[in-house]
Structure 1
C-alpha cells in the first residue's frame, strides 16, 4: 500500500529571473538605473564631448571683442607713433599670451575701413614686439604702404622678404608688387619682380628634386 500511494518528490524548478539572467542580483534594474543617472548617455548612446569646441568658440569670440576694442582705441588717437604704440602696449599688457589672433582680426577690420596708416602703425608695432608676421599680414602691409603713397618703403620691405624667404614667398605677394609697379608705370620693376618669381620657382623645384634623391 505504501508503495501504491507513495508520493514522488520532483525537484522544484527555479523561476526565471526578471532580468533574463541568473546571478545578477537585479542586474537588469541596475543597468537601467545607471543609464538614467548617467548624463553622458542617451538610450545607450554616448553623447559627444563638446567641451573642446565650446572652448574654441569662446576664444574666437574673445579675440573678436579684443580686436574691436583695439580698432576703436587707435581710431581716436592722433597720428603720433608714441601715442599709438603706448595704446597698443596697454591693450596687450594684461594678456597671459600675446593676442596674435586679435591683432590679425584688427588688421582685417582696419583694411575694410581703409585706414592704411593705422595698418602700418599696428604692423610695425607687431614687428617691434618680435612677432612673426604671416603672409596675409605682409600682403596687407604692402597694400597699406602703397595706398599711403610710401612705395619706396614697400619696396624695401619686399626686398627684405625676398632675401629672407627664398623658397616660400606666395604668388599673391608677387602679384601685389607687380600690380603696384604697374599702376606706377614702372615696367622695369614689373620685369624685375617677374624674374624674381621665376627664379624662386626654379629654386623651389630644384630643392624638391634634391630632397627626393
Structure 2
C-alpha cells in the first residue's frame, strides 16, 4: 500500500527553502557593504549565525551562488574562507566557486595552493569539474606548462577530460612546442561526431578530423 505524501512535511520544506533564501540574501547584502578587513567580515558573519541552533549551511551555499551571479569575487573568497575557519566541509561546487573567484580576483597563486591541498587531501575523489576549472584558469593566464601538469594528473588518475578541456590541453601542447602530442590527445578524447544547426534543426555529423 502506497503512503500519501505528508503535506505538513512538504510545507515545512517549502518554508525552510524560502527562509534560507531570505537569510542568504541577508548575507549577500551584509558582505557587499563591508570593507576588505578580516575582522569586520568575520565579525559580521558571526553575527549572521549568532541565533541559529544549527549552522545555516544551505543559506550560505545559496548566498555563494547569488554572489557568483553578481560576480562578487572578493565577497565569495571572504565567505568561503570564513566557512573554512568554522570547520565547515566545503562541497565540490563551493571549491569550484572559490577557485574561480580567486582566479577572477587575480590570485592565481592562492588558487593553485588551494588546488594542491584539495588534490593531496582527496586525490581520487576529486571530480572532473575541478580539474577542468584549473585547466581553464591556467589556459586563461597563458600558462601551458601548468595546463599540462593538471592534464598529467588527470591521466594518472583516470579522469577523462571533457571536450573543452581537451581542446585546451591540445593548445597547451602546441604552445609548448609539443605539436606531435596535440593530435593524439584530440583523437583520443574528442568524440567522432559533433552537432551543428542546419535549416533550423540540430544535426549530427561526423568530424572531418580531430581539429574539426
TM score, norm. by length of structure 2:
0.72
Give the match for residue 137 of structure 1.
94
Deviation per CA, 1:128-183, whole angstroms, max 9, x where unpaired?
00000000000000000000000000000000000001111111111110011111
Q: Structure 2 matches for 1:56-135, cutoff 5 A? A: 56-135=13-92
Q: Quote the offset at 1:199 in angstroms.
A: 1.3
**Aligned twin of 1:43:** none
Q: Residue 144 of structure 2 aligns with which residue?
A: 187
Give, in angstroms, the shift of residue 63 of structure 1.
0.4
> 2: distance between equivalents of 1:140 and 1:48?
36
> Deviation of residue 112 (structure 1)?
0.6
Cα distance change, pair 47–186 in 1 and its aligned pair in 2 (3 A): closer
Write the distance in 2 (CA, Å) between the matches of 1:152 and 1:81: 20
| Structure 1 residue runs of 4 or more that deviate by more than 6 Å after TM superposition | none
How far is the alpha carbon of 1:122 from its aligned partner?
A: 0.2
RMSD between superposed Cα atoms in Å? 1.3
Cα deviations across residues 11-34 of structure 1 (Å, max 9, x unaligned)? xxxxxxxxxxxxxxxxxxxxxxxx
For 2:31 and 2:4, how far apart are their aligned partners in 1?
A: 45
CA-to-partner distance for each residue in 1:168-206, whole Å, 9 max, x for gaps? Answer: 11111111100111111111111100111111227xxxx
1:103 aligned counterpart, secondary structure: helix
**Number of matched residues?**
157
CA 1:96/1:188 → structure 2, altered by over 3 Å: closer, same or farther? same
Compared CA separation, residues 181 and 47, structure 1 to 2 (3 A): closer
Task: Give the drift of 1:49.
Answer: 3.0
1:176 correspondence with 2:133: yes
Name the SS of the counterpart of 1:154 in structure 2: helix
> 1:71-117 CA deviation, whole Å, 9 max, x = no partner?
11111111111111000000001100000000000000000111100
Gapped regions of structure 1 (runs ≥ 5) = 1-45, 203-213
Match of 1:160 in 2: 117
Higher gyration radius (CA): 1
1:199 aligns with 2:153: no
Q: TM-score, normalised by structure 1?
A: 0.72
* Unaligned runs of at least 5 residues, structure 2: 160-212
